[in-house]
Structure formats: C-alpha cells, structure tokens
Amino acid sequence: MEGFLMNKNHRIFYLDFIRVIAILLVIFIHVSAIDTTLNVGTGQWQITKILNYLAHISVPIFFMISGSLLLNSKKTTSLSYTWKQRIPRVVIPFVLWSIISPIVVGIYAHSLSLHNVLSAVKTILYQPTSPTLWFMYPLVGIYILSPVIKTFVQNATNGMLIYVTGIWLVTCSLIPSIAVMLPKNFEHVLELSPVANFFLVGGFTGYFILGYLLTKLKVENTNNLILIVIFLVVGIGGNFVSEIFPNIFDTNNNYYVTSIFIPIMSVAAFILLQKWGNRITSATTIKVFEFLSPLVFGVYLIHNLLILYIEPFFMNHIAIHGLIATFIRYIVVTVLSIIIIWILNLIPGINYLLTGNSRKRNSK
C-alpha cells in the first residue's frame, strides 16, 4: 500500500521520512498500551498516557500519505491497475497474516488447533484475527474507492476540496466530539439520524482526501512554532478530555475520526514532518530512512505478535519498571520487527506474499 509501500524509482523522501516515523509511533501505542492501565494516577502513568495519546497521529498520517500518493498518481483512475496491482499488494499480505496471527496466538496460549484457526479465519470479513489488523479494513475500502475519489479530486478546485474536508471534519469529528461532552439529558441533541449520514465523506476517507489537499496547498511557509504549539496544546488537551469523557474513545477505533483533537494534531504533525523531511540533507540519514521505508508494512503486520511474547517476558523477568521498562520493550520489539521483515523481504516470492514488496515492481 502506498501509505506503507513505495517504489524506489519514484521516491519522495519526505514521505519515506513520515512513513517511518508513523510506524515507530504505531509500535509505541501498542507497546505502551499496558502501561496506561498500570499505576494509575502516578506521574509516570500520566506521562506514558500523554505520549501514547500523542502517538495516535500515526494512523491518520498513514491514510494521509496514501492520499497524497494515490490521488496524485495518474494510474489511480485505471480500474485494471487498481485491481491487478495495488489491491493484491494490500489484500494478499493481509489475508496471510490473518491466518498466521491465530496460529501464533494459539501457540502462545497452548491452544493451537485447526478448529480454532478456522474459526478465526472464517470471520475475516467481519472482524480482524488480530486487533492491529483492524486498520486494513478501512484501508482496503479506500483502495477500492480510490479510482472514484481520484476522478473527483482531479476535477475539483482547492476550494471544493476544502469544502469536502470541512464537511467531513464537522459532521464526522466536531459534532460527535461535542456530543459526548454534553450532559446526559442532552446526549442525543447532536446525534444525527442514521439516515442523515455523510458516508460519502465519512470515516477515514477524510484523511485520504486531506493528504492530497495538503500537497496542493502552500503549507511550507507555515510557522513551525505555531504548528508545535497546536500539536502539543491540542494533544495534551485531548488527553485530558479523554480522561473526563472516556466515551470519546469508542471500542471500534472510530475515535481516530470522531475525536476532533486527533485530526487537528495529525494535520499539524504531517505539515511539520513534511517540512523537517524536506530539510534533511545527510546522505546517511536518507539511506537509513530509504532502507526502512519498504519494511514498514511488514513491520506493522508482525509487531503485535512479537509484543505478545516480549511483553510478558519483560514483565516477569526484568526488574525494571516505569518509562524505562516501556522504552526497553519498545526498542526490542521495533528492532526485532525490522530484522525479521528485512529477512523476509530478501526472499523472492515471500517478500510479495508477506510484505507486499516485489523487487520486480517498477511502478508505484
């Protein structure tokens, strides 16, 4: 997927830079998740919780990267290319890791059986076999719709794109955010009737279009300090609000959209990272990010399975606690994920099946 994958012949370095930063944040979210439930109320808990919350820009950023690439590509309007080239690169690894995940979990829980694996896999269209694979469902949907969205955006003015993303932000994010903060007697005041939906610009599609819009607007002149202040103030404020109104975090990951704080943080972070990425001139740094970028999709697919084993080992055998323990686990999971996917990426055939990469690919 272009949010995770990119052809070396058509590199845009700042997107490599953003992509790698995003996967590092995703891993931190999942490694630190258990720490947000321990020692509640302490200073270290609060710091971990804020860092975890700030890292939630990662998922929107992946959708924005996909939008900036797919919606700027002429090939996106080709139904043949979309279904023969792009969608298989996403769906095949997704399906295979959806089979691998319950096998690994079964081994870990000492309950591996063909029945359990088949029971998990047969519901793959309905629910993910591993929690982190939820991301693939909206992404595959957006890939399927990408030719339609591309046809729209290539004929739309910047004003029209701002109008569409504005509708998305207000109806899918702002109103639901305010609604959960209202007193119980007014909890349905801002709730839209199911038949009055905005599905056309709903869900993660808004981030997809937003990523494209940011490539059309002149954002390079935006003041860095202002962006940093927006990111930190909105992020810390969003974390505080989520403690008072936990309902803003629903159980289906829709809070990436329905919590107004996350889209605002994500836009500020995307522009900042774009600017910082464009300023990198060190050949060594560029090579490191270009090496890591093609591994990102595979790292996303495998990292949670490694957490399954590494987390209890550290919790039970390492006498280190707090933030230091969190970051040690984080480094171990990140390094092991990269090494394993790098090795898989060297094996012809396997690299395509499990990571979506192919050394023969010459078009993005």
Cα distance between residue 80 and residue 232, in whole Å: 43
DSSP code per residue over 277-322: HHH---HHHHHHHHHHGGGHHHHHHHHHHHHHHHHHHHHHH----H
> What is the mean pLDDT for each group of 10 consecutive residues in the chain (364 residues)?
51 91 97 88 90 96 96 95 95 96 90 87 91 94 95 95 94 89 81 68 91 90 93 95 84 85 97 94 95 96 95 83 90 97 95 84 41
Residue 364: per-residue pLDDT: 41
> How many CA atoms within 13 Å lie on the side-chain side of 344?
23
Q: What type of residue is 332?
A: V
> Mapping DSSP to helix (H, G, I), strand (E, B) and coil, where does residue 34 land?
helix
pLDDT at 166: 94
CA distance 145 to 294: 24
Distance (Å, whole) CA 229 – CA 239: 15
CA pair distance 56, 222, nearest whole angstrom? 22
Q: What ranges in 154-254 are assigned the alpha helix state H? A: 158-168, 175-181, 205-216, 224-244
The whole-angstrom separation of Cα 349 and Cα 172 is 41
What pLDDT score was predicted for residue 111?
85
Looking at residue 249, its pLDDT comes to 79
Quote the DSSP letter at residue 86. Answer: I
- Each domain of the chain, given as residue ranges in start order, spans 8-355
- The pLDDT of residue 252 is 75
In this prediction, residue 225 carries a pLDDT of 95
Residue 207, classified by CB atoms within 10 Å of its CB into exposed (0-12), middle (13-18) or buried (19+), is buried
